[in-house]
């Protein structure tokens, strides 16, 4: 019996030693290190850039971007963007903010979406027009309708539009509430604060207060990286970074730079590539989990024209001149491939999940230790 007791004690020691080795080995493994240090928000957020003529997809991706405009299986850009690891947002020129009317029929919108689905680009994000309310249009109902058309053709698709509601330095001119809320799946707010004199960064702070006050969760922001153009001057690298810092931590699901290259007579990437890479390496919402995506709008919205358009005066809100639609291989607009921003927000790794394995190993070790102690105690009693 004493031999059995000795064997039990030896088994106990071996079990505990094995558990300790497993815990230490796991804590030093690359997987554990990655899981503890990867910021799920930084790794999953949309980091996009407007582009007009450039097709240097690998260079753009090398700056830390994961999204670009003018993508989709209905364009010639799709293969190159996909090969570079970029997701291209699909341009859907379905609304005019000059005439306040839809410019594509439901059948035309459906055709673009179906082309993307059949081309392997289901679940794309569709950039429906541009700045729908810039000229006073009551565009919400049209956008709700167009969003429903997109969803009917592809349930996984999402609609997106740039909203310039907060792009007037005279903040008293801002419309009340958030007129476009619920019209598209994702609203992206463009605030270009650098005109004459210092940048009006308070515009960003006030916009964030309004966004929070209406409970919007699926939203992005657009940074000014262009100029001189109309009423805007070119921000320097520090001012581009300051824009991001004012938006940072506000709960956005991603952001875009306007613009990587020239939009007509408006030079782009005026802050320089270094600041692009710097910002793309920062967390959008440091130290917090990604915001829970909003439910789809009750009724989907309509489309608009891409790229900043119209020249805001000191008291007007809007983007620089608009852009041309991308070259298409079929259909009349361009789409963005693959996943939606909401999908890209789901982090692949979290610290909580990474802690489960070592805890499980410790638990097994404790169980084995308990069994060993009980067995040893029983054997001792029998030998007395």
3-state secondary structure 137-166: CCCHHHHHHHHHHHHHHCCCCEEEEEECCC
Q: How large a percentage of the chain has pLDDT more than 90?
A: 63
Question: How many angstroms separate the CA atoms of 370 and 33, rounded?
Answer: 31
The pLDDT-based confidence of 65 (bands split at 50, 70, 90) is: very high
Q: Tell me: the pLDDT tens digits for 154-164?
A: 999 999 999 99
Torsion angle (degrees, nearest 10) of CA 350, 353, 157, 224: -10
Residues 6 or more apart whose Cβ sits within 8 Å of residue 45: 252, 253, 254, 255, 283, 284, 285, 290, 344, 345
Tokens of 135: 């000229």
> Is 50 exceeded by the pLDDT of residue 278?
yes
Tokens of 268: 């782009």
Q: Tell me: the pLDDT tens digits for 213-269?
A: 999 999 999 999 999 999 999 999 999 999 999 999 999 999 999 999 999 999 999
Q: Tell me: the pLDDT tens digits for 198-227?
A: 999 999 999 999 999 999 999 999 999 999
The pLDDT-based confidence of 360 (bands split at 50, 70, 90) is: low
Q: What is the pTM of this model?
A: 0.70
At the top level of CATH, the class of 39-344 is alpha beta
Q: How large a percentage of the chain has pLDDT more than 70?
A: 64
* Residue 287: predicted pLDDT: 86
The pLDDT-based confidence of 317 (bands split at 50, 70, 90) is: very low
The pLDDT-based confidence of 335 (bands split at 50, 70, 90) is: very low
* Residue 3: predicted pLDDT: 56
HSE (side-chain half, CA atoms, 13 Å) at 271: 25
Question: How many angstroms separate the CA atoms of 233 and 128, rounded?
Answer: 28
Least Cα distance to 335 among 90, 93, 88 occurs for 90
Looking at every residue in the chain, the average pLDDT score rounds to: 79
Question: How many angstroms separate the CA atoms of 337 and 73, rounded?
Answer: 7
The predicted model gives 304-328 an average pLDDT of 42
The predicted model gives 324-341 an average pLDDT of 40
> Is 70 exceeded by the pLDDT of residue 99?
yes
> Is 80 exceeded by the pLDDT of residue 372?
no
> Is 80 exceeded by the pLDDT of residue 370?
no
Question: How many angstroms separate the CA atoms of 183 and 160, rounded?
Answer: 9
């Amino acid at each position: 019996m004493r031999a059995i007791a000795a064997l039990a004690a030896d088994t106990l020691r071996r079990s505990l030693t094995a558990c300790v080795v497993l815990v230490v080995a796991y804590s030093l493994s690359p997987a554990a290190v990655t899981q503890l240090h990867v910021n799920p928000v930084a790794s999953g957020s949309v980091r996009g850039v407007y582009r007009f003529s450039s097709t240097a997809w690998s260079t753009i991706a090398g700056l830390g971007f994961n999204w670009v405009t003018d993508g989709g299986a209905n364009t010639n850009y799709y293969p190159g963007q996909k090969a570079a690891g970029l997701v291209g947002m699909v341009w859907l020129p379905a609304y005019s903010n000059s005439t306040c009317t839809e410019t594509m029929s439901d059948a035309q919108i459906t055709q673009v979406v179906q082309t993307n689905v059949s081309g392997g680009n289901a679940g794309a994000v569709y950039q429906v027009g541009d700045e729908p309310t810039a000229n006073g249009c009551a565009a919400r109902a049209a956008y709700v309708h167009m969003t429903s058309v997109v969803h009917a053709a592809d349930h996984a698709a999402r609609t997106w539009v740039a909203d310039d509601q907060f792009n007037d330095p005279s903040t008293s001119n801002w419309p009340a509430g958030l007129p476009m809320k619920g019209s598209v799946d994702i609203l992206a707010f463009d605030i270009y604060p650098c005109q004459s004199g210092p940048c009006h960064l308070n515009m960003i702070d006030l916009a964030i207060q309004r966004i929070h006050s209406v409970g919007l969760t699926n939203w992005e922001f657009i940074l000014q990286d262009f100029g001189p153009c109309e009423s805007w001057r070119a921000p320097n690298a520090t001012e581009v970074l300051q824009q991001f810092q004012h938006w940072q931590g506000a709960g956005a699901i991603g952001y875009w730079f306007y613009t990587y290259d020239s939009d007509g007579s408006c030079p782009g990437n005026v802050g320089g590539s270094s600041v692009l890479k710097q910002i793309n390496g920062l967390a959008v919402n440091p130290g917090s989990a990604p915001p829970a995506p909003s439910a789809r709008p009750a009724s989907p919205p309509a489309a608009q024209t891409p790229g900043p358009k119209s020249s805001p005066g000191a008291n007007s809100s809007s983007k620089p001149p608009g852009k041309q639609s991308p070259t298409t291989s079929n259909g009349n607009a361009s789409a963005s491939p693959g996943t939606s921003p909401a999908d890209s927000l789901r982090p692949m790794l979290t610290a909580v999940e990474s802690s489960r394995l070592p805890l499980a190993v410790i638990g097994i070790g404790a169980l084995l230790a308990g069994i060993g102690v009980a067995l040893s105690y029983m054997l001792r009693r029998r030998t007395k």
